[in-house]
Amino acid sequence: MTGRALGMLAVLAVATQLGACATTPPLEGAKMDGGPRSVVLHHPASGETTSVTYWRPGEGPGGGYDPAAMREIAVLFRDRRSDEVIPVDPALIDMLVELRQRVGAPPESPIRITSGYRSSATNASLARTNPNVAENSYHMRGQAADFSIAGIPPSRLAEEAAAMQRGGYAMYAHTGHVHVDTGPFRTWTPKIGEPRAPQILEAQARARARAQALAQKSGSGKGAIQVADATSKPGKPPAKPAKAPGRSAPEKSAAVTSPELSRVRLALAQVKEMPVQKAAKR
């Protein structure tokens, strides 16, 4: 049986656990109204999208968190390396939906999930190469999401997460996503240097390219002017003695046989520390 098939079977295994969430009361402190809660989730790497109404008002059957909708969410949040599926914390989905509302994005705006659940093996593998991956990440519990919303700056999402004071959050502007989780309220700074938005990096690269092009153009122009000045003045005596007829050795040959180098070669030959032929290679 393939890993994907095992992963899908795992969805059935968690149905009972998710069913316990069906009558959970609305998240304490939530700013959402009492109407049904819907969400559109999109996984950019795979192209998967799920659109569900995951919570409805009322008690008893038909009210609270919907088990079938939460199963769909869990599948989209699954570990893409192992296809493992675990229940996603309903409070995390509430947090994402409230953030979408607070920034003014329409209900149909997809919340792009770049990282949802991670198995312990996946998390350990990522931690070996990425200093921002925590060893005991909330991603391993189905309580964290790395996400973005098209048209909304990551800084705006982070500001609203800070204002909500509900769980952890951090902005990763260099990749354009925000991390949120349902752990204690806290934040941190990414460990890979000062975050820069892609458009800023692109503008800086263009500026550096223009500066280099101007410097090269200016340098080559100077050289051309200097050569023209040295060769275009009639009657100017040559700076060095004329070469003997029939010889075409470059100017470097004259430097090799200069009196100073000859004295060096003679001294080296006298002390026998180096053959005379090697002195010319320095």
Q: How far apart are CA 173 and CA 51, in angstroms?
A: 27
Structural domain boundaries of the chain? 3-199, 253-282
Which pLDDT value is given to residue 190?
A: 86
pLDDT at 239 over 70: no
Per-residue pLDDT tens digits for 157-215:
999 999 999 999 999 988 999 999 999 999 999 886 544 444 444 555 566 677 777 77
Please, which residues bridge with residue 170 across strands? 179
Instruction: Say which residue, 11 or 262, is predicted with more confidence.
Output: 262
Other CB atoms within 10 Å distance of the CB of residue 101: 16
Instruction: Name residue 125's amino acid.
Output: S
Phi, psi of 107 (to 5 degrees): -60, -30
Which pLDDT value is given to residue 191?
A: 81
Pick the CATH number of 3-199 from 3.40.30.10, 3.40.50.10470, 3.40.1350.10, 3.30.1380.10: 3.30.1380.10
Nearest to 98 by CA among 50, 169, 46: 169
Which pLDDT value is given to residue 218?
A: 72
Task: Return the minimum-mean-pLDDT range out of 1-5, 101-105, 222-226.
Answer: 222-226
Instruction: Say which residue, 135 or 15, is predicted with more confidence.
Output: 135
Give 142: exposed, middle or buried? Use CB within 10 Å, 0-12, 13-18, 19+: buried
Give the model's confidence band at 31: pLDDT under 50 very low, under 70 low, under 90 confident, else very high. low
Which pLDDT value is given to residue 207?
A: 64
User: Are the beta carbons of 168 and 180 closer than 8 angstroms?
Assistant: yes
User: Are the beta carbons of 171 and 148 closer than 8 angstroms?
Assistant: no
Per-residue pLDDT tens digits for 40-81:
999 999 999 999 999 999 887 789 999 999 999 999 999 999
Sorted by sequence, the CB contacts under 8 Å of residue 276 that are 6+ apart come out as 265, 268, 269
Which whole number is the average pLDDT over 108-132? 95
Sorted by sequence, the CB contacts under 8 Å of residue 72 that are 6+ apart come out as 50, 52
Burial 109-128 (b: 16+ CB within 10 A, else e): bbbbbbbbbbbeebbeebee
pTM of the model: 0.60
Place of tokens 């003045």: 233
